[in-house]
Structure 1
């Protein structure tokens, strides 16, 4: 069972999400918060796999909540769920450590797919997010990539990183490279350590920003 938390200041929207997830297999809403302060004060009391986080909330907004949560909850899957579709905002929040970014008019099918993907793979990027990251992050890249990153990676790690950035699952990477799922996970953990990020979504952000892969 995937344990989900909702942080949104609109009660009707929270109730709608809860009703939607009640109709879906393997999803359970474990708690709700009506603002960022309430979220930060109570999330540690609940075992949570995925947080659905709105940006426009009173007291502490979603942006500040994300900044505060990521260092203390590195394994929490955080999906931004908002009406803001600005590409710069999408790229910025992904760089801060969000695992996915969805608009509030997302279809129920994609919504469920995103939650499952964040739990199983550590990220979910739809077309909007992919385009925003390519535009927003590639625009920040220096003409010369930062020294040290590419040199520190093995050829196999670069292969795995490229496939992760192409949204292959760990199982698909293992099959494509003729290695075990466990070996893929080992490479992924090594990449996270070497690139100084916290999760798989962070790997993709770093790879694009530092121009480590061709996407």
Structure 2
């Protein structure tokens, strides 16, 4: 069972999301929060797998909540759920550690797909997010990726990173490169450490922003 938390200041929208969750057998809403302050308090007593986070909330907004939650809950899947489609905002939130970014008019089918992908692969980028990231990040920085003096990306790590950026799953990467799933996970972990990002979504952001991968 995937445990879901909902943070949105509109009660009607929260109720709609809960109704949608109730129609899906493997999803369970463990709590709702009407503002960021309430969300941060609730997180001390619950351990959801995925958080559906609105940006425009009173007391503590979604942006500040994301900043505070990501260091404390590194494994929490955070899906931004908002009406804002500005490319710079999308890119910025992905850099801060969001796992996905959906607009509130997203279809139930894509919504379910996003939750599954975040749980299984650590991220979900639809066409809107991919385009927004290209617009918001590409060319933003021309410097080379910042690595420790003694570290460089290996040829295999670059191959894995390229496939991650093409949205291949870990299983698909393993099959394509003729390596084990465990080896793929090892490369992914090394990439996260070397590039100094927070999660798999961050790898894609970094690859685009620093020009490590040709898009």
TM-score by length of 2: 0.96
Is the contact made by 2:14 and 2:32 (CA closer than 8 Å) also made in structure 1?
yes
Q: How many residues align?
A: 214
Distance in 1 (CA, whole Å) between partners of 2:22 and 2:10 is 19
Distance in 1 (CA, whole Å) between partners of 2:44 and 2:164 is 30
TM-score by length of 1: 0.96
Distance in 2 (CA, whole Å) between partners of 1:25 and 1:42 is 24
- 1:55 maps to which residue? 55
- 1:84 maps to which residue? 84
Matched, 1:189 2:189: yes
Q: Describe the SS at the equivalent of 1:152.
A: coil
- 1:99 maps to which residue? 99
Shift of 1:139: 3.0
Distance in 1 (CA, whole Å) between partners of 2:96 and 2:2 is 23
- 2:144 maps to which residue? 145
Shift of 1:59: 0.4
Matched, 1:33 2:40: no
Matched ranges for 1:1-215 at <5 A: 1-142=1-142, 144-146=143-145, 148=147, 152-215=152-215
Distance in 2 (CA, whole Å) between partners of 1:51 and 1:99 is 10
Distance in 2 (CA, whole Å) between partners of 1:105 and 1:139 is 30
Shift of 1:25: 2.6
Is the contact made by 2:141 and 2:210 (CA closer than 8 Å) also made in structure 1?
yes
Distance in 2 (CA, whole Å) between partners of 1:148 and 1:182 is 24
Distance in 2 (CA, whole Å) between partners of 1:19 and 1:137 is 36
Shift of 1:147: 5.7
Shift of 1:182: 0.6
- Runs (4+) off by over 6 Å: none
Q: Describe the SS at the equivalent of 1:135.
A: helix
**Structure 2: segments with no counterpart, 5+ residues:** none
Shift of 1:10: 0.6
Distance in 2 (CA, whole Å) between partners of 1:55 and 1:138 is 24
1:55-113 superposed Cα distances (whole Å, 9 cap, x missing partner): 01000000110111111111100000001111111111111110000000000000000
Q: What do you get for the CA RMSD once the two structures are aligned?
A: 1.4
